[in-house]
Amino acid sequence: MGKLYVVGIGPGGLDYMTLKAVKAIEESEVIVGYTKYIEFINPLIKDKAVVSTGMRGEVERCKQALELAKDKVVSIVSTGDAGIYGMAGLILEMREDEEVEVIPGVTASSAAASIVGAPLMHDNCNISLSDLMTPYDLIKKRVSLAAEGDFIISLYNPKSHGRPLYLKECMDIIRNHRQGNTPVAVVKNALRDGEKSTIFTLETFDDSEVDMFSIVIIGNSKSYIKDGQFITPRGYQV
Amino acid sequence: MGKLYVVGIGPGGLDYMTLKAVKAIEESEVIVGYTKYIEFINPLIKDKAVVSTGMRGEVERCKQALELAKDKVVSIVSTGDAGIYGMAGLILEMREDEEVEVIPGVTASSAAASIVGAPLMHDNCNISLSDLMTPYDLIKKRVSLAAEGDFIISLYNPKSHGRPLYLKECMDIIRNHRQGNTPVAVVKNALRDGEKSTIFTLETFDDSEVDMFSIVIIGNSKSYIKDGQFITPRGYQV
């Protein structure tokens, strides 16, 4: 009897995996994943079989993982939380009768937030700016409603070569609802090699360093910067 | 020289802590936290000093943790992610010159999602229904805008004795924007002792089992139930 673990490995640094994720990898005979993400967990893989595929091979990758899981213990890995923009959905959509267990992880917005302070302390949302599978009009509508509702906003996949202007345009939408001194964090490679973060405001924001490995966090109307830390108050009387 | 770790211990089960969180607890001389949450990590505490306080003692608890961290290594623990409705914000607001490191964890909505399938696979938001520090009108406004924007919605602190009707009222707001067959999950004590989950639809939803230890997740317009699993498609052509 096989089994498929859908594993969120967290941001990438081994220390930020859960113990359960480590155990699932160790127990597995085969590891399936996007080549770059497999590298993050190399020290755990040792002499296990690896099936790694390039970007945009998601459907094929999930098909292989499910097929292998019919008689082997297999882990398919996503960075962050496998259940937030990860592989958990596709696996469960395609599953027939294979045994599947989803193991959650630290999602990218949580990882990015921890580096710059405590920006996500109040009601917050995650929005992906990738239009591969979501119409851009719907993305802009969500950004606008989230800004109107004073949600803290974490932008996933904020910028790529194919859509260099979306981030600028979405920040303009947010500026219609928030003051110029609202903090904005750009965090690249949070909690893994190559980590870099900058705290701007809506007024000073510059997207030149933003790429697909970045998360952009925009504060709510109460967020502020103190000693270089981006803080959103929960509301306690201090 | 002291140091303060602000540690998100994840949902409660030890297996769902990150390695970094475990190391921080092990390295600490003093552990500070709400009594119930300290119990979750008892096996790691051994003979360390513990400062535990009841609910609503947050400001006092943070003050003590910062004071102790002037010359000791201290961990202050939150369940889930310390940076999402946890102690990271208050600590950084009150910090003077103490060394502070925030360690993120698996937030409650991720934990709850992993048990019922893959509900959070698309743009999603976290909203707390607690009105202790947020006006109820603002909470309802956020629920309405999130529903209008077709976000998947995770409700934290969905119900307590002091506000038995908020959840019902907020679900009515959501019904104005979503169809009756939209999946709704109630997950109690996700990934810790006493775990229990039920999947409803907006039509069949019953809040009688919901309490402060529950998370309620409402799907978007594309979410569906398959073989007892709550799935929101990311949008891949399967």
CB nearest A106 (choices: B89, B90, B106): B106
CB pairs under 8 A between A and B: 226
Domain with CATH 3.30.950.10 in chain A: 109-231
Nearest to A30 by CA among A79, A61, A65, A60: A65
Within 8 A of B127 by CB-CB distance, chain A residues are 123
User: At a CB cut-off of 8 Å and minimum separation 6, what does B67 contact?
Assistant: none
How do residues B132-146 score in pLDDT, each as one tens digit?
A: 999 999 999 999 999
How do residues A140-153 score in pLDDT, each as one tens digit?
A: 999 999 999 999 99
Res A238: pLDDT? 85
Check whether A57 has a pLDDT greater than 90. Answer: no
Within 8 A of A94 by CB-CB distance, chain B residues are 238
A64 and A33 Cβ atoms separated by less than 8 Å: no
- Give the distance from residue A231's alpha carbon to the nearest chain B alpha carbon, in angstroms: 6
The stretch B206-230 carries a mean pLDDT of 97
What counts of helices (H) and strands (E) characterise chain B?
8, 13
Nearest to A139 by CA among A147, A149, A148, A129: A129
Fold of B109-231: 3.30.950
How do residues A202-229 score in pLDDT, each as one tens digit?
A: 999 999 999 999 999 999 999 999 999 9
Q: Which residues of B209-222 are buried (b: 16+ CB within 10 A; e: fewer)?
A: ebeebbbbbbbbee
Residue B44: φ, ψ to 5°: -90, -15
The stretch B55-75 carries a mean pLDDT of 94
Mean pLDDT of chain B: 96
Domain with CATH 3.40.1010.10 in chain B: 3-106
Q: How large is the ipTM?
A: 0.97
- In chain A, the percentage of residues whose pLDDT exceeds 90 is 94
- Give the distance from residue B234's alpha carbon to the nearest chain A alpha carbon, in angstroms: 7
Any idea which of A80-94, B42-56, B69-83, B150-164 has the lowest mean pLDDT?
B42-56
Looking at residue A137, the DSSP 8-state letter turns out to be H
CATH 3.20.20.80 is the classification of domain A3-106: no
Contact criterion met (CB < 8 Å) for B234 and A133: yes
